[in-house]
Amino acid sequence: MEIIFEYEGKGNLEINSVAVIGSFNDFDHTKGNMVRNGEKWVLSYDLLAGEHYYKFLINNELKLNDPSANVYLPDDKEELWSVIIINDKNQRMYNNNQYTVHVDSYNVTCNINEEQKSVNKKNFNVLLDKKVVTRLGFTNVTGLHSITTAWFTPKGELFQVVENNLFATKDNEKDPILMWFWMDLNNIHRSNCGIWTIKLFIDGEFVLEDQIKLLENTSYTAQGKMNY
């Protein structure tokens, strides 16, 4: 069955290349290079019957799920993947359930805490602070979702990517579900001081961008800008 993969970059993400990596091409990006067509990247693949796990690889370093995928399933290591299911009649199968997730709160601090109100810190001292911690609160969570944070240096280089799975249980159906993503500052060289960018993706879809400043002095401020 012919499947057309499409990826459209959003969130001021500079894209030089996109590849589809999946179970149908041994997760080899050289076998899944996409071609740019206007604002989209496109690739056609002939897939046999079965379950096909895949993701998009941006610039050979940022791995994201397909926001337009209809099915997401975890692999043996609990990593969540976009999935295409084709039956024996060469028909694509779809999940009719509609799943939701809402970003209820977002804070940047220097420690992991569960306090309802937290100072939104924007300036960090690489000599004094140990971490930059982003705390996210999610509500109206149904289904299983991949939450990805990508951290970019002042030069625009990808420094780290962290992905976790989000799902609701009977114990937290009503209260916001908190998740923390952080960057250890003891691994930051002083040459990387400046304005860093954090991008948040849910199921591969760009959701939020924020900026923080790494300094070598003791000047702090709670002022900052967030773009949703």
- In SS3 terms, the chain reads as CEEEEEEECCCCCCCCCEEEEECCCCCCHHHCECEEECCEEEEEEECCCEEEEEEEEECCCEEECCCCCCEEEECCCCCEEEEEEECCCCCEECCCCCCCCEEEEEEEECCCCCCCCCCCCCEEECCCCCEEEEEEEEECCCCCEEEEEEEECCCCCEEEEEEEEECCCCCCCCCCEEEEEEEEHHHCCHHHCEEEEEEEEECCEEEEEEEEEEECCCCCCCCCCEEC
What rounded mean pLDDT belongs to the chain?
A: 91
Residues of the chain with CATH 2.60.40.10: 2-93
Report the pLDDT averaged over residues 14-21: 96
Show the tokens assigned to 185. Answer: 């500052």
Overall CATH class of domain 102-223: mainly beta
Longest dimension (CA), the chain: 66
The angle at the Cα of 27, spanning 46 to 39, to the nearest 5 degrees, equals: 70
pLDDT at 224 over 50: no
What are the φ/ψ torsions at residue 194 (nearest 5 degrees)? 140, -160
Tell me the C-alpha distance between 187 and 180, whole Å: 19
Q: What's the number of CA atoms in the CB half-sphere (13 Å) around residue 77?
A: 4
- Confidence band of 10 (pLDDT split at 50, 70, 90): confident
Whether residue 220 has pLDDT greater than 60: no
Tell me whether strands 35-37 and 18-22 are parallel, antiparallel or unpaired: unpaired
Confidence of residue 225 (pLDDT cuts 50, 70, 90): very low
pLDDT digit string (tens) for 83-136? Answer: 999 999 999 999 999 899 999 999 999 988 877 666 789 999 988 899 999 999
- Distance from CA of residue 188 to its chain's centroid? 22
- Model confidence at 186, in pLDDT bands (50, 70, 90)? confident
pLDDT surpassing 60 at residue 221: no
Ranges in the chain annotated CATH 2.60.40.1930: 102-223
Question: Are residues 184 and 192 in contact, defined by beta-carbon separation less than 8 angstroms?
Answer: no
The answer to whether 157 and 172 have CB atoms below 8 angstroms apart is: no
Return the higher-pLDDT residue of 2 and 117.
2
Residue 226: pLDDT above 60? no
What percent of the chain lies above the pLDDT cut of 70? 94
More confident position, 20 or 223:
20
pLDDT at 117: 67
pLDDT for the residue 113: 80
| CATH number, domain 2-93, options 2.60.40.10, 1.10.3290.10, 3.40.1350.10, 3.30.70.330 | 2.60.40.10
- More confidently predicted of 22 and 170: 22
